[in-house]
Each structure stands twice: as structure tokens, then as C-alpha cells.
Amino acid sequence: MSIGTGTGTASRRDTSVGVLTSTTTATATAAFGLLLGWATYELHGTTPLLERATNSASTWIIWTATAGALIRARPLAVWGGALMMLATCGGYYAASTLGDTFGAGGLGTAAVWSAAGLAGGPLLGWAGWTVRRGRGDVRAVAGAVIPMVVLGEGLWLGLALRYWGEATVFLAVGALLAALLTVYLARAGVHRYWLCAVLAPVGGLAFHIAEKVILDGLLGSV
């Protein structure tokens, strides 16, 4: 009887710790997302560099991957990615509302970006977690997911908007990020670490096409 009671008590304790950890992680992730969204709105127009850096999907996505890397459990990292992207959208549009810049089409635009966050947030949360804590060659694939967003946005700035100066900066940052992640994976002993460097530009092109065909189409319809 005593063994059964002890096991039950330990099980309840483990469950309580798990719930507390999940709640704390979700709260911290949501709070950081809200602050990130608020900050990106407030930094608009301060300097040309900050204007582009904050008015960028890459900024939100890189921080989402970072959050995934900091979360210990993979399921929490995946769902945390979605939560953070939604919270970031919420923080941004809350600041926009208080700043009296939330126009008539704001709800449609917010809905599109929230849907994009729900699609991309789990992927980036998973990527951040896998690069740091995963096993096998999938770590290199996950590593390529993170810089592909920066590279894809660079292609969009250059090919779609003809902002080649800003595009060059994004492409350089994306290439540097891919190189740093490749080195990190090589030092971590990942067998096919080079997949990160190979797949990042391929993913960047795919991201650019998806952004141009799908996201721009949805934004243009609201």
C-alpha cells in the first residue's frame, strides 16, 4: 500500500510540475511576443535602418526560432512558436490601435498576418528547438529553415520592390546566419552539417515565391 501511495504522490507531483512549467513557458512566450510586437510598431520611422529592421517578417521569425531554442520540451517549443507569433501580432496591432493608425482594412490585414503566424510559428519554434536539442541530420535541415526567411525577404525586397540596397543587406545577413549555423552544427558533430548551407538558399527562394504568390495575394485582397 505504501509503495502504491508513494507512486501516486510522485505521479501527481510530476504532473503538477509539468503543468506549472507549461504555464510559465506559455506566459513568458506570450509576454515576450506582446513586447516584440509593441516594440516593432514603436520603432517604425525612428531611423531608416530600424524602419526596415522592424517592418520585417524576419525580425519576428528569428526571435520565434530563438524562443524555440530556449524551450526544453519539443511540443512546447512548437506550440510556443504559434503562441509567440499570435502574441506579436496582437502587440503590434494593439500599439497601432492606441497610436490611432489602425485603419479600416486593419482587421483583414491582422487576420492575414495572424494566419501566417499560425502557419510559420510552429515551424520556426520547431527549427529553433531542433537546432539546439535535436538529433541526427534533421538538425541541419532545421538550421536551414531559419536563414531561409531572411534570404527570402531579401529576394522579395530586390526582385519585387527593387530596393536593392536593403535587399543586399538582408541577403548578406541571411548568408552570414546560414554560415554561423553551419559552423555550429559542424562543431556539434552533425554528420551532414553542410545541408544547412545548401538548403538555406533553396528555402529562401521557396519562401520568396510563397510570399509573393500567397501572402501578397491575401494582403491585396483585404
Q: Where are the domains of the chain?
A: 1-126, 135-222
Is the full-model pTM beyond 0.95?
no
95 vs 43: CA distance, rounded Å: 11
The pLDDT value recorded for residue 2 is 44
pLDDT at 8 over 80: no
Helix segments in 71-215, DSSP class H: 74-98, 106-133, 138-155, 164-187, 195-210
The predicted model gives 137-148 an average pLDDT of 96
Distance of alpha carbon 167 from alpha carbon 123, whole angstroms: 24
What's the mean per-residue pLDDT of the chain? 85
Does residue 160 surpass a pLDDT of 90? no
pLDDT in tens, 65-117: 999 999 999 999 999 999 999 999 999 999 999 888 887 667 888 888 888 88
DSSP, res 213: I
Task: Please check the confidence at residue 14 and state whether its pLDDT lies above 50.
Answer: no
pLDDT over 90 at 61, yes or no: no
| Residue 6 confidence (pLDDT) above 80 | no
Give me 71's grid cell.
524551450
Q: Is the pLDDT of residue 176 over 50?
A: yes
Residue in this structure with the C-alpha cell 482594412, named with its chain if needed: 105
Pick the range with the lowest mean pLDDT from 4-18, 60-74, 177-191: 4-18
pLDDT for residue 20 is more than 70: no
Q: How far apart (Å, rounded) are the C-alpha atoms in residues 69 and 6? A: 35
Q: Is residue 40 predicted with pLDDT exceeding 80?
A: yes
Q: What is the pLDDT of residue 220?
A: 63
